[in-house]
C-alpha cells in the first residue's frame, strides 16, 4: 500500500510503480536523506512540534537505519518508490506512530532538494581532491622537463620551440580554472532548502536556520517556490564537469598522438596501456581514448539537464526526478576518468631525444631568424620575407636553417653575420623566450611555483 493511498480507491498499477520509481538510482543518497531527517527531527523537537521523547526515538531509529544499510542488513525495497519513502516506511515499521510524525512540515520536494545538494557537495569535494592530485602530477612532471625542448604547434604544424614543461603547464592553467569554477559552484549549492515544504513553506513554527546550522550549510534558500524547483546547481556542476572533461579530452588526444610511432614523444607505462587481440605488436592508449570518448556522454548529461528544465513551470514537476541520473552519471564519469588519467600521466616515459629531433626539423626557429634581423635594424616585414626565402632555399636544398652556409644567408641579406647560428640555436630560442608566461625554464619555474602556491592556499 502506498503512503499516499488515502485519496485513492484503486491500487497502483505495477507498471506505474516501475515507471515512477527512482529508488534504483536515488538510493545512493541514503546517507544524506537520513542525516537530513535527523536534523529535521532534532529541530521539530527543539521548537516543540515533537516531544523530546519522540525526537530521541526518531533520531535513534534513523541512526539504526543508517547503520543497518551500511552493514548490509537492510536492502532497498523497489516497491518504495524512492529513498525518501523507503526510509520513512522502515522507520514507521520499526517505531509505529512516532515514525509517522517525521514528515511534519516537510515534503519530498524540499527533501529531495536537500538530499541532492548534500550529495553533490560531497561529490564536489571528491572531484576537488582528484583535480588537485592531477595538478600536482602535472607540476611534478613539468618540473622535470623545464629544459626538454619540443616543437610547439599551431594548426598541427610545427610552429615555435617550447618545452615539454611549458606545454604541460598550459593544462595546469585549465585545471586550475576548473578548480575555481568548482568552488564557485559549491558556493551556490551550499544553500539549505528544507522548510520550503511542497512549495509554499509551512504553517508550523519551524526553525530553518537551526537545520541549516546542524547540516553545516552556508545559508537557507530565500524563497520556498525557488527552493523546491531550482536545479541550477545541477546544471552548473554538469557544466563544470563538462569543461573538466573537455580539458581531459584535449590532453588525452595529445597523449594519443604523442605515443604514436609518427610522434613517439612519450611511451605509456605497460600498466596503463592495452594490447590488441589480433595484432601482437600493438600497445594502445585505450585509457586516453576512453576519456576522450566519455567526454561525449558528459556533454549529453549537461544537455539532458538543460533540456529537462527548459519551460518547466513553477514549482516542482516530476520531470525533475530526471536530474539525478544525468548529474550522477556526469559525477561518476569525471571521477572515473581523473582516477585513471592521473596515474597514467604520472607513469609516462618522456622520450626527450625524439622531441628534440622533431624540434630540429620544421623550421620552428624561423621566427627567431627574423627577430635576429630586427635586432640588426631591419624592419620586421622585410626580415619576415627574407627568412621565408631562406626557408624555401632550405627545403629545395634539403637543409635546415642551422646547416645553411653563411654565404647563402648573406645572398639574401647582408645584415647576417656569424652570430646568426647562435641566435637560431634551439636551446637558445627557448631560453630567450623569458617573457612572463613564456617557455623559458625560468618562466616555467615561475608558473609551476604559482600553481603550487595556489594549490597550497
Ligand atoms: N523521487 C522524487 C524526485 O526525485 C522525489 C520528489 C517527489 N515529489 C513528488 N511530489 N512526487 O524528484
Q: What is the DSSP letter of 13?
A: P
Work out the angle between the directed axes of helices 30-46 and 83-95 (0-180°, nearest 10).
60
- Residues belonging to the chain: 457
Determine which one of 155, 277, 311, 407 is catalytic: 155
Of 21, 25, 112, 234, best ligand 1 pocket probe by most atoms within 8 Å of the beta carbon: 112
Question: Using CA atoms, how far apart are residues 189 and 173, in angstroms rounded to an integer?
Answer: 24
Q: What is the DSSP letter of 152?
A: E
Evaluate the CA torsion angle 25, 27, 31, 36 in order and state its sign.
positive
Work out the angle between the directed axes of helices 441-456 and 108-144 (0-180°, nearest 10).
150
Ligand 1 pocket member 22 (CB < 6 A) = yes
Question: Using CA atoms, how far apart are residues 162 and 248, in angstroms rounded to an integer?
Answer: 21
User: What's the grid cell of residue 152?
Assistant: 610547439
Ligand 1 pocket member 231 (CB < 6 A) = no
Give the β-pairing of 219-220 and 191-192: parallel
Under 8 Å between Cβ of 440 and 131: no
Tens-binned pLDDT, residue by residue, of the chain (457 aa): 677 678 888 888 888 888 999 999 999 999 999 999 999 999 999 999 999 999 999 999 999 999 999 999 999 998 899 999 999 999 999 999 999 999 999 999 999 999 999 999 999 999 999 999 999 999 999 999 999 999 999 999 999 999 999 999 999 999 999 999 999 999 999 999 999 999 999 999 999 999 999 999 999 999 999 999 999 999 999 999 999 999 999 999 999 999 999 999 999 999 998 887 777 787 899 999 999 999 999 999 999 999 999 999 999 999 999 999 999 999 999 999 999 999 999 999 999 999 999 998 889 999 999 999 999 999 999 999 999 999 999 999 999 999 999 999 999 999 999 999 999 999 999 999 999 999 999 999 999 999 999 999 8
Determine which one of 24, 260, 276, 403 is catalytic: 276
Fold of 109-206+215-357: Fumarase C; Chain A, domain 2 (1.20.200)
pTM assigned to the model:
0.94
Ligand 1 pocket member 112 (CB < 6 A) = yes
Domain formed by 366-424, architecture: Orthogonal Bundle (1.10)
Ligand 1 pocket member 321 (CB < 6 A) = yes
3-state helix, strand, coil in the chain (%, to 5): 65, 5, 30
Q: Match domain 14-104 to its CATH number in 1.10.357.10, 1.10.540.10, 3.90.1150.10, 1.10.275.10.
A: 1.10.275.10
Domain definitions of the chain by residue range: 14-104, 109-206+215-357, 366-424
For the CA of 324, the closest atom of ligand 1 is: 4
Strand partners, 162: 150
Dist. CA 260 → ligand 1 center (Å): 50
Dist. CA 72 → ligand 1 center (Å): 25
Ligand 1 pocket member 27 (CB < 6 A) = no
pLDDT score at 275: 81
First to last CA, the chain: 54
Helix locations, 259-319, DSSP H:
286-309
Question: Using CA atoms, how far apart are residues 244 and 240, in angstroms rounded to an integer?
Answer: 6
Amino acid at each position: 500500500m502506498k503512503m499516499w493511498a488515502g485519496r485513492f480507491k484503486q491500487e497502483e498499477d505495477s507498471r506505474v510503480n516501475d515507471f515512477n520509481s527512482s529508488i534504483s538510482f536515488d538510493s545512493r543518497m541514503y546517507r544524506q536523506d537520513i542525516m537530513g531527517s535527523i536534523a529535521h527531527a532534532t529541530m521539530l523537537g527543539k521548537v516543540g512540534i515533537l516531544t523530546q521523547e519522540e525526537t530521541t526515538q526518531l533520531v535513534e531509529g534513523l541512526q539504526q537505519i543508517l547503520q543497518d544499510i551500511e552493514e548490509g542488513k537492510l536492502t532497498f525495497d523497489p516497491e518504495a518508490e524512492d529513498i525518501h519513502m523507503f526510509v520513512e516506511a522502515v522507520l514507521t515499521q520499526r517505531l509505529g506512530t512516532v515514525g509517522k510524525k517525521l514528515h511534519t512540515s516537510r515534503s519530498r520536494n524540499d527533501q529531495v532538494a536537500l538530499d541532492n545538494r548534500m550529495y553533490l557537495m560531497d561529490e564536489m569535494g571528491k572531484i576537488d581532491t582528484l583535480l588537485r592530485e592531477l595538478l600536482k602530477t602535472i607540476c611534478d612532471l613539468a618540473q622535470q622537463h623545464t629544459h626538454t625542448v619540443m616543437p610547439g604547434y599551431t594548426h598541427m604544424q610545427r610552429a615555435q620551440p617550447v618545452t615539454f614543461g611549458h606545454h604541460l603547464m598550459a593544462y595546469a592553467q585549465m585545471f586550475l580554472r576548473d578548480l575555481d569554477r568548482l568552488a564557485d559552484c559549491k558556493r551556490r549549492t551550499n544553500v539549505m532548502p528544507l522548510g520550503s515544504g511542497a512549495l509554499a513553506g509551512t504553517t508550523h513554527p519551524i526553525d530553518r536556520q537551526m537545520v541549516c546550522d546542524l547540516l553545516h550549510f552556508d545559508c537557507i534558500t530565500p524563497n520556498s517556490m525557488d527552493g523546491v524547483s531550482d536545479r541550477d546547481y545541477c546544471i552548473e556542476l554538469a557544466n563544470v564537469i563538462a569543461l573538466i572533461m573537455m580539458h581531459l579530452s584535449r590532453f588525452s588526444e595529445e597523449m594519443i598522438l604523442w605515443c604514436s610511432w609518427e610522434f613517439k614523444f612519450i611511451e605509456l607505462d605497460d600498466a596503463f596501456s592495452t594490447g590488441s587481440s589480433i595484432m601482437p605488436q600493438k600497445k594502445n592508449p585505450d585509457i586516453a581514448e576512453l576519456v576522450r570518448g566519455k567526454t561525449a556522454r558528459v556533454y549529453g548529461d549537461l544537455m539532458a539537464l538543460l533540456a529537462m528544465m527548459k519551460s518547466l513551470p513553477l514549482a516542482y514537476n516530476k520531470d525533475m526526478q530526471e536530474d539525478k541520473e544525468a548529474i550522477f552519471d556526469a559525477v561518476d564519469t569525471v571521477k572515473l576518468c581523473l582516477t585513471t588519467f592521473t596515474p597514467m600521466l604520472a607513469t609516462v616515459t618522456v622520450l626527450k631525444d625524439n622531441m628534440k629531433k622533431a624540434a630540429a626539423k620544421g623550421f620552428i626557429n624561423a621566427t627567431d631568424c627574423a627577430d635576429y634581423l630586427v635586432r640588426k635594424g631591419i624592419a620586421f616585414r622585410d626580415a619576415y620575407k627574407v627568412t621565408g626565402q631562406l626557408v624555401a632555399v632550405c627545403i629545395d636544398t634539403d637543409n635546415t636553417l642551422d646547416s645553411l652556409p653563411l654565404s647563402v644567408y648573406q645572398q639574401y641579406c647582408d645584415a647576417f653575420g656569424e652570430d646568426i647560428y647562435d641566435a637560431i640555436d634551439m636551446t637558445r630560442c627557448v631560453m630567450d623566450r623569458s617573457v612572463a608566461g613564456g617557455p623559458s625554464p625560468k618562466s616555467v619555474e615561475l608558473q609551476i611555483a604559482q600553481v603550487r602556491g595556489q594549490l597550497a592556499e
